[in-house]
Structure 1
Amino acid sequence: MYVYINICLYMLCRCNGKSENEKYSDDEERKSEYTFVSALSMNGGDGDNSYSTNSLLQRRVLSMTKPILVKNTKEMLTNLDFPKYIKVADLGCSSGQNTFLVMADIVNTINALCQECNQNRPEIDCCLNDLPCNDFNTTFKLITFFNQKLASEGSCFVSGVPGSFYSSLFPRKSLHFIHSNYSLHYLSKVPDGLEKNKMSVYITSSSPLSEYEAYLNQFQRDFTTFLRMRSEEMVSKGRMVLTLIGRNTIDDPLYRDCCHWSTLLSISLRDLVFEGIVSAAKVNSFSLPFYDPNEEEVKEIIRNEGSFQINDLETHVFDLAHCNEDCSLQTHRAKPGEKVANCIRALIETMLVAHFGDAFDIDTLFERYAHHVSQHTSCKNKTSVSLVVTLIRK
């Protein structure tokens, strides 16, 4: 197997050009509060707090979706009549081994089906996408790991594509297959129209209905944009396999249980306010750019956008008590609640530091987070809902 690496990294910088003494309009003030969204990336490297070390849940999700991934890869290849060149993209790849596990599954499926059908193996272009601040270096150090996962020889090209997947990333009609795991629940921005959140970083059962509507509206805009961008970049009959955090369809759209990860984060931040470590105003101005849709909301957006046909749409529930049990990924025995806290820290530390500042006591925050996880007996049976949708470009 010959793997050619082409890492094209660029940095996007934006400055507002205003001094701190200038007066802002209400909208401008709000935009300045939420500049931390541009820092959204998982913790890089391979240390104790890195995403690479604390992404076993995502790996288990990938294992669950593998049959769907393989099925759609085979159908794509057959319906496109075994093209000589195939371009695959993993959107929101982050850093670490997970993205190469996905790419290896896709490449191995393509090569195996070609051999089974007596077809020549195609050249395969594997494009790994995330925001420019993502740790691509750690990912590309794992090329040897990728090679070891490949079951047969062939030409495979690997490249990095920095940029938001809410924008154009690839030439028109160039992509054959897209994969995205646990990324599309992150929004391009914190929604407009949120009321003062009173130290709650996301929707809770006590939130006004307008907060749910604001988050839903932002998700509708972002997901529609994502579909429109990909429709321009994909060939006809190309496939997408998308997995995101969702919620079961229930009567109350505000319902989030006491162990929802964002609820525990709010409680932990309040602890720091009461202890005088951080100001209430600073916590009140922090809201998560995140939304967990249900099946019907996802279906409606896809149908309204109109470029894709839904091939599969499934809901899967995970027991989080078993999703971080892998001593090979931990350098020490974790205390009760610490594994869950480390997982959440790996996901959102960059945003927290960008908002609260470099002097923010991130260690104390997640000590409190781990404590609250351990105090809630119901958290031991906490479940997470994943939506898996596969789409065919019309």
Structure 2
Amino acid sequence: MEVVQVLHMNGGMGETSYANNSLVQQKVITMTKPIMEEAITSLYCRTFPTTLTIADLGCSSGPNTFLAVSQLIKSVQAVCRKLGKQPPEYQVLLNDLPGNDFNTIFRSISSFQDKLKNQMGSSFGPCFFTGVPGSFYGRLFATSTLHFVHSSYSLQWLSQVPEGLENNKGNIYIASTSPPSVLKAYREQFQRDFSYFLKCRSKELMGGGRMVLTILGRKNEDPSSKDGCYIWELMAMALNDMVSEGIIEEEKLNSFNIPQYTPSPLEVKEEVIKDGSFIIDRLEVSEVNWNAYDSEFSPSDTLDEGGYSVAKCMRAVAEPLLVSHFGEGIIEEVFRRYREIVADCMSKEKTEFINVTISVTKR
């Protein structure tokens, strides 16, 4: 699997699009707003740049693309009003892999700018947007040109499927039945990728620049614990059922592995310390329910609607990977079964995604 070519969220604005099935991600960005506000305010008050350059890495498409940027700009504008200073111009760099639906983003920029102007008033400085296709596991920007880097729910994706997963049969990611060699392969791939990510950003950020990263992670130090991999184990159950019924070839399933790793706070911290280019300002863990609509349904609705919501969210994320490996013919059946499995699971136990958020300053 060539991850750079096939890893992207479902584009467009349709029923299965990421734009219409990313409320969990929206909640996470909103939850981390205080950390972003603190970081951008500290940065701005230290340097008062006339042009503030912000990069959002793994921006995807849809309403979430502009949510973090909007929060950051509003924080700076509030400081400027309080201090009586002329607001800076904003250069916003939106990055994702080449397969991302940049066209939907570009069509939304004008309306987003108009909305900001209406909210901010006449003092709002110009805001310029640039799309930057490419992998953040490599250089994306010129040396010392960035003030602020943000990324949410992107760095759990790896640059490639780790090598040496041949004995992970019946699984599509780390699972409770995965042998130690599989856990080791995934962990080492994350360490290589994240360390290179940090190396690249240390070149691109100015001295004193800030970075806030939120990664889908886990609390437990064991990579095979439920809080880090259970959502994929349930999808593997659906696929295995289809193998047992002859709908999917067993060999096809055994050669499919998700290019993801959900790190613990300690693993993130260790890589930052090892790199040595950044000072850790904050490192926090938060949780969000699998079902983003968990407070909007009555108890009688929760079982079915919750499973439906989670399955649609996961489809928006995983469908391109599944289609590239198994073809389009199985998709509807996979997610029909997955929905039932997830709903059953949610009726019996607490189900949450774990978020690891780290805020750092470039030395």
- TM-score normalised by length of structure 2: 0.92
Aligned position for 1:239: 210
Name the residue aligned to 1:22.
none
Distance 1:124 1:377 in 2: 43
What amino acid sits opposite 1:45 in the alignment? G
Q: Please say if residues 293 and 306 of structure 2, whose CA atoms lie closer than 8 Å, have aligned partners that are also in contact.
A: no
Q: Aligned AA for 1:83? A: P
Which of 322, 344, 350 is matched with 1:381 structurally? 350
The 2-side partners of 1:217 and 1:224 are apart by: 11
Indicate the residue corresponding to 1:309 in structure 2: 279
> Post-superposition shift, 1:230?
0.5
Match in the other structure for 2:301: none
2:300 aligns with none
Take 1:125 and 1:326, find their aligned partners in 2: how far apart are those partners?
A: 37
Aligned to 1:6: none
Q: Alpha-carbon deviation of 1:249?
A: 2.8
Q: Which residue of 2 aligns with 1:267?
A: 237
Quote the residue 1:54 is aligned against: 21
Q: Name the CA distance, whole Å, in 1 between partners of 2:227 and 2:279.
A: 33
Aligned-partner Cα distance in 2 for 1:54–1:203: 25
- Counterpart amino acid of residue 77 in structure 2: N
The number of aligned residues is: 353
Letter in 1 for 2:42: E
Amino acid at match of 2:115: Q
For residues 148-173 of structure 1, the C-alpha deviation after alignment (integer angstroms, 9 at most, x for no partner) is 24532211101100000001111110
* Local SS of the residue matching 2:214: strand
Superposition map of 1:288-303 within 5 A: 288-303=258-273
The alpha-carbon deviation at position 278 of structure 1 amounts to 1.4
1:378 Cα deviation (Å)?
Answer: 5.0
Spell out, residue by residue over 1:178-200, the C-alpha distance to the aligned partner (whole angstroms, 9 max, x if none). 11010000000011222322120
Cα displacement string for residues 111-150 of structure 1 (whole angstroms, at most 9, x for unaligned residues): 2212221222111101110001100111222221453245
Aligned counterpart in structure 2 of residue 78 of structure 1, from 45, 64, 70: 45
The residue that corresponds to 2:191 in the other structure is 220
Equivalent pair of 2:294/2:306 in contact (CA under 8 Å): no
1:142 corresponding residue in structure 2 = 108
Out of 10, 15, 23, which is 1:43 matched to?
Answer: 10
- How far 1:380 moved relative to its partner? 5.6
In 2 relative to 1, CA 312–205 (structure 1 residues): closer, same or farther, beyond 3 Å?
same
Aligned-residue identity in percent: 43
Shift of 1:354: 1.0
Closer, same or farther in 2 for the Cα pair 1:310/1:379, shift >3 Å?
farther
User: Does residue 361 of the first structure (1) align with residue 330 of the second (2)?
Assistant: yes
Which deviations, in whole Å up to 9, do the C-alpha atoms of 1:212-231 show, x marking residues without a partner? 11111000000001000001
| 1:256 Cα offset (Å) | 2.4
**Where does 1:1-394 land on structure 2 (aligned, <5 Å)?**
34-36=1-3, 38-80=5-47, 82-143=48-109, 144-149=111-116, 151-152=119-120, 153-250=124-221, 252-256=222-226, 260-323=230-293, 335=305, 337-358=307-328, 360-378=329-347, 381-394=350-363
Taking a change above 3 Å as real, the CA distance of residues 40 and 324 of structure 1, as seen in their structure-2 partners, is farther
Q: Deviations 1:94-116 (Å, cap 9, x if unpaired)?
A: 00011211111111111221222
Deviation at 1:72, TM superposition (A): 0.6
Could you give the per-residue CA deviations for residues 335-390 of structure 1, whole angstroms, max 9, x where no partner exists?
551110000000011111111124x3201100010010122245662011100100
Give secondary structure in 2 for the equivalent of 1:376: helix
3-state secondary structure, aligned to 1:316: strand
CA contact (8 A) 1:249 1:295 kept: no
Instruction: Please give the alpha-carbon distance, in whole angstroms, between the structure 1 residues aligned to 2:322 and 2:172.
Output: 11
TM-score normalised to structure 1 length: 0.85
* Distance 1:127-1:259 versus aligned 2 partners, 3 A rule: closer
* Consecutive aligned runs of 4 or more in structure 1 exceeding 6 Å deviation: 324-327
Q: 1:324·1:340 contact (CA, 8 Å) conserved in 2?
A: no
Separation (CA, whole Å) in 2 of partners of 1:293 and 1:58? 17
Give the RMSD, CA atoms, in angstroms. Answer: 2.0
Q: Report the Cα offset of residue 291 of structure 1.
A: 0.4
Contact conserved, 2:307 with 2:346, CA < 8 A, in 1? no
> Which residue number corresponds to residue 21 of structure 1?
none
CA contact (8 A) 1:373 1:379 kept: no
Alpha-carbon spacing, 1:186–1:377, altered in 2? closer, same or farther (3 Å): closer
Of 224-233 and 189-198, more deviation after overlay is shown by 189-198
Unaligned runs of 5+ in 1: 1-33, 328-333
Q: Structure 1: how far apart are the matches of 2:14 and 2:289?
A: 25
